[in-house]
Every structure is written in structure tokens, then in C-alpha cells.
Amino acid sequence: MANDPHAIGRRIRRFREQKGMTPAQLAERAKISRGYLSELENGKGSHKRPSAEVMYRIGKALGIAMSDLLGVPLITQPIRKRSASLERFAEQYKIPEGDIEMLASIRFRGDAPQTPERWAFIYNAIKTSRTMDDRRRR
């Protein structure tokens, strides 16, 4: 349920962990206190549900839509057909849905990667470039 603070907190934690972020990193990027993030992730405190502004900042920091945090599907365009190799890669490595959608759009000289290994190489290159961007901003 979208308004359940416990469910929202579980999703925040799950996405944070999928991104390999510590609570301190997420709190800093979302411009909220670590204590408040802890309350959100544990569904505790005086906050029934975070404000839209806080949800937006957390989603932005995690690179996901607010709808993902709320557990409400948001379809903005038709879902791309996914190759069997992408599906195998995504299942094996537990890739978040938003990342799978992004990968599904990748074409090099008109073709998508044909093996899970090529998907892994591309995905890791994209994740590594994010780390490089983070270092460059400092």
C-alpha cells in the first residue's frame, strides 16, 4: 500500500542497498538527517509518511522515480521488448527494474547485446562511470 510508512521504509532501504549506498551516503545526497532516514527506513518516529519533497529528494538520490518508492507503477511509455539474454542477466544479478528498462534501450550499431556477459560488462561500465562522475564533482 502506497501510504504504509513501513512499506515505504522497506522500499527505501531495498533501493539504497541495491545501489550499494550506506545510510549516511543516501542521507547526504537527499539532504536529510541520518536519524530521519533511519526513522523512515524503520517506519518509526512521528512521521506517518515523508513529504513529497523528501520523497522526491530520496528518489533523485537513488536514481529512481517517486512511484518506485511508493510502490505504485508508473507507465510513461510502452515497455520495450527485452531480450532473453537481458532477462537472464537481470535475474541472475537482481538488477532493479529501472535499470533493466534503461538497459533495454541500449543499441550499438542497431543491435542489443546478445549475451548476459555483455550486459554485465555494459552495466558495470555504466555503474563505474557514475562513480567517476561523483569523484569529479568533489
User: What pLDDT, in 10s, does the model give residues 87-138?
Assistant: 999 999 999 888 888 898 888 888 889 999 999 999 999 988 876 666 655 5
pTM above 0.75, yes or no: no
- Quickly state the pLDDT bin for 70 (edges 50, 70, 90): confident
Q: Are residues 93 and 41 in the same domain?
A: no
Q: Decide: 67 and 77 in contact? Cβ < 8 Å.
A: no
Are 39 and 5 within 8 A, CB to CB?
Answer: no
21 falls within a domain: yes
Question: Are residue 56 and residue 95 in the same domain, yes or no?
Answer: no
Structural domains counted in the chain? 2
Residue range 77-89, pLDDT digits in tens: 655 678 899 999 9
Residues 64, 110 within the same domain:
no
Same domain, 47 and 88: no
Over residues 28-46, mean pLDDT? 88
CATH code of 20's domain? 1.10.260.40
In a domain, 94, yes or no: yes
Model pLDDT, residue 5: 77
Per-residue pLDDT at 24 exceeds 80: yes
Q: Classify residue 55: in a domain, yes or no.
A: yes
- Residue 22 forms part of a structural domain: yes
Instruction: Judge whether 75 lies within some domain.
Output: no
User: Is the distance from CB of 86 to CB of 113 less than 8 angstroms?
Assistant: yes
Whole-number pLDDT of residue 47? 55
The pLDDT of residue 1: 46
Give the H or E element holding residue 83: none
Is 78 inside a domain boundary? no
pLDDT reading at 34 higher than 60? yes
Q: Tell me the residue range of the domain where 20 lies.
A: 5-70
Residue 76 maps to a domain: no
